[in-house]
Structure 1
């Protein structure tokens, strides 16, 4: 092998090593996608990544509550007494999840990837007030409490906007 061929081989090896290193840097800079949650009404559905999620680490109840109060941009229309279906990634179901409305937990913790709330009137008139035109719900990944206690870990929050189909 001549010195010229050896020099060309070295340059190629350096170029390949540089390309691999650059590729790894680009990949390391990317955020991993969060697990997804989906809300379905009739034939329409919307899906979202988490509003707040720290790779499965505990957010704490205070931060989860703040995240659940953030407004979602994607919306879905819900008419009175339609079935609201929620689907979650198996990672979320393994921990457990609950439905929250306006920053308040309204269901027990489920450990299923799918749950349907049949005939729920989320937009019912309340104490003499007109039915709201929009409602913000959250899927909150949280552990299922032992007995009557409260959840100790809150790992993620997915927010959705429901639009009153009867307004």
Structure 2
């Protein structure tokens, strides 16, 4: 009689353990992989965002149609910048492995970065050069675009932030 009670107790514990493991696996399989974050910091002010909706290729290069649409999007997150300040941009290590670039009012980086953090002069980000006249102008606000690059395939993910210039 005692042996029957002991094996019944072990069976219940084993069944409970199997049920817990199964439930855990089901829960994990239902979760989506979180999107990578990008961060922009000016002085002690920081804003962080997930990839802009419609601009996350889920590890694959965005289509030309998606890239065109993403280039016209504005940033949901806004940060104020004074002339002469440094703007610091950070990305997740997985994004850094792929390589990434920053675009302000015009191209800012000559080559993709493999670092998780870069610093830029605010004046550079707000600077726009007219290709016909060669004149340089400064925008009052600019959409800062961060793009994760694929292996020669074009952007895989894009983040957008709005930088407002404080007078």
TM-score tier (shorter): 0.7 to 0.9
Q: In the alignment, what sits opposite 1:135? A: 142
Say which SS state the counterpart of residue 46 (structure 1) adopts. Answer: strand
CA drift of 1:121 comes to 5.5
Measured on the aligned residues, the alpha-carbon RMSD in Å equals 3.1
Say which SS state the counterpart of residue 2 (structure 1) adopts. Answer: helix
CA distances 1:17-40 after superposition (whole Å, capped 9, x unpaired): 111111111122222223322212
**Cα pair distance change 1:36/1:28, threshold 3 Å:** same
> For structure 1, which runs of at least 5 residues remain unmatched after alignment?
145-150
Query: Counterparts of 1:36 and 1:126 in 2: how far apart (Å)?
Result: 30
Query: Counterparts of 2:158 and 2:8 in 1: how far apart (Å)?
Result: 56
Query: Counterparts of 1:11 and 1:99 in 2: how far apart (Å)?
Result: 57
In the alignment, is residue 69 of structure 1 matched against residue 76 of structure 2?
Answer: no
Say which SS state the counterpart of residue 80 (structure 1) adopts. Answer: coil
Could you say which structure has the higher helix fraction?
2
The TM-score normalised by the length of structure 1 is 0.73
Contact map agreement 2:78 2:163 (CA 8 A) in 1: yes
**Cα pair distance change 1:126/1:53, threshold 3 Å:** closer
Say which SS state the counterpart of residue 53 (structure 1) adopts. Answer: coil
In the alignment, is residue 111 of structure 1 matched against residue 113 of structure 2?
Answer: yes
In the alignment of these two chains, the number of paired residues is 157
Query: Counterparts of 1:140 and 1:162 in 2: how far apart (Å)?
Result: 16
Query: Counterparts of 2:127 and 2:61 in 1: how far apart (Å)?
Result: 34
Contact map agreement 1:81 1:121 (CA 8 A) in 2: no
The TM-score normalised by the length of structure 2 is 0.73
Query: Counterparts of 1:65 and 1:81 in 2: how far apart (Å)?
Result: 31
Pairing 1:1-167 to 2, within 5 Å after superposition: 2-51=3-52, 52-101=55-104, 107-113=109-115, 114-120=117-123, 122-123=125-126, 134-143=141-150, 151-166=152-167
